[in-house]
Amino acid sequence: MTELKNDRFLRALMRQPVDRTPVWMMRQAGRYLPEYRATRARAGDFLSLCKDAELACEVTLQPLERFPLDAAILFSDILTIPDALGLGLYFETGEGPKFRHVIRSGTDVAALPKLDAAVDLDYVMKAVATIRAALAGRVPLIGFSGSPWTLATYMVEGGSSKDFREAKKLMYGQPEVMHRLLDHLADAVTDYLNAQIRAGAQAVQIFDTWGGVLSSWAYEEFSLRYMRKIVDGLIRHHEGRAVPVILFTKNGGQWLEAIADSGCDAVGLDWTTDIGQARARVGDRVALQGNMDPAMLYAPPARIRQEVADILRRYGAGSGHVFNLGHGITPDVDPEHARAFIEAVVALSPEYHG
């Protein structure tokens, strides 16, 4: 086991002392980097890039070569599980992900196979192992999955959606069917994340991208309930240290206390929640990750630095903060603006620790 040279990300997630606030970006390996676009062109398409362990490793490491980041995140996609369950994932140019088969009935749910992630998603595990070896202890590696509710929306809608009409129709009209689907997905996500941990992931994040489209009672019943089940089933200690779990619900700030009580180690915040108020609400129960508006990266570097300073000030002194964007970096951001963001965290955060 290679010794971890920089563990401040893992330490902050466990609310242990750090010398400065750790920082990484959601979608930090992506289309805003010209070197990523070149590698993707070599791969041929997005899915081919995901399924080639060496190329997935290459793009995972690209942002670390540019910026002083404190974590790497596996390059993959949240829709690998539905694809492995036989729904036939493909990508239409300009339209995002689509599935050849959709889930609309109890019969459809019953026909879903049980996922064996180590076998059915072996290319992901090969990528994890390849990246972990290439990192050689430089920074920790984050594994991830979509939440059951988020995965279900794509599986029922057949792709992206603006109003989630079919998913909500199934949820409200046949709740027992939606619960069976979500339960099946919770088992699959648990197996998938545990396989990533065994392959070398040192922390995991669950992306509940579409939890925020639900009403309060529906969020509890159809999203958070199943994330709790996953958290309860995860490997929490591996290779001699804790494996922290981050839950991120976009537009989920109104449920912050409930998410913090799920058993996770950290809660990801989008930019609509004030991080100082969030810290006051959760106390020392969990770490917080976030939460600069990704659109701030269009601003001049001096304004970006000012925003970083403000978020650090709002969080205040002490550990338990992982600096991140409130969602993924957008493809047309200037990489030098991403640098300004990351370097501002590195330069300005030490005064809050010590």
Binding region: 27-31, 77, 154, 209, 327
Q: Percentages helix, strand, coil for the chain, rounded to the nearest 5?
A: 50, 15, 35
Burial class (CB in 10 A: 0-12, 13-18, 19+), 114: exposed
Chain centroid to CA 76 = 11
Catalytic residue flag (residue 180): no
Tokens of 295: 């659109």
Burial class (CB in 10 A: 0-12, 13-18, 19+), 351: exposed
d(CA 78, CA 180): 20
Contact 285, 266 (CB under 8 A): no
Catalytic residue flag (residue 285): no
The residue assigned the tokens 């369950």 is 85
Catalytic residue flag (residue 305): no
d(CA 307, CA 271): 12
Q: Which residues partner with 241 through β-bridges?
A: 238
Chain centroid to CA 255 = 18
Could you give the count of Cα atoms lying within 13 Å of 85 in the half-sphere of its Cβ?
Answer: 28
Which one of the listed residues 37, 77, 285, 314 is annotated catalytic? 77
d(CA 142, CA 38): 24
Contacts of 53 by beta carbon, 8 Å cutoff, 6+ apart: 123, 126, 127, 129, 130
Which one of the listed residues 27, 228, 279, 305 is annotated catalytic? 27
Q: How are beta strands 96-99 and 89-92 bridged, if at all?
A: antiparallel
Catalytic residue flag (residue 31): yes
64-91 core/surface letters (b: 16 or more CB in 10 A; e: else): beebebbbbbbbbbbbbbbbbbebebee
Binding-site members for substrate are 27-31, 77, 154, 209, 327
Catalytic residue flag (residue 27): yes
Which one of the listed residues 15, 70, 132, 154 is annotated catalytic? 154
Query: Which residues are designated catalytic?
Result: 27, 31, 40, 77, 154
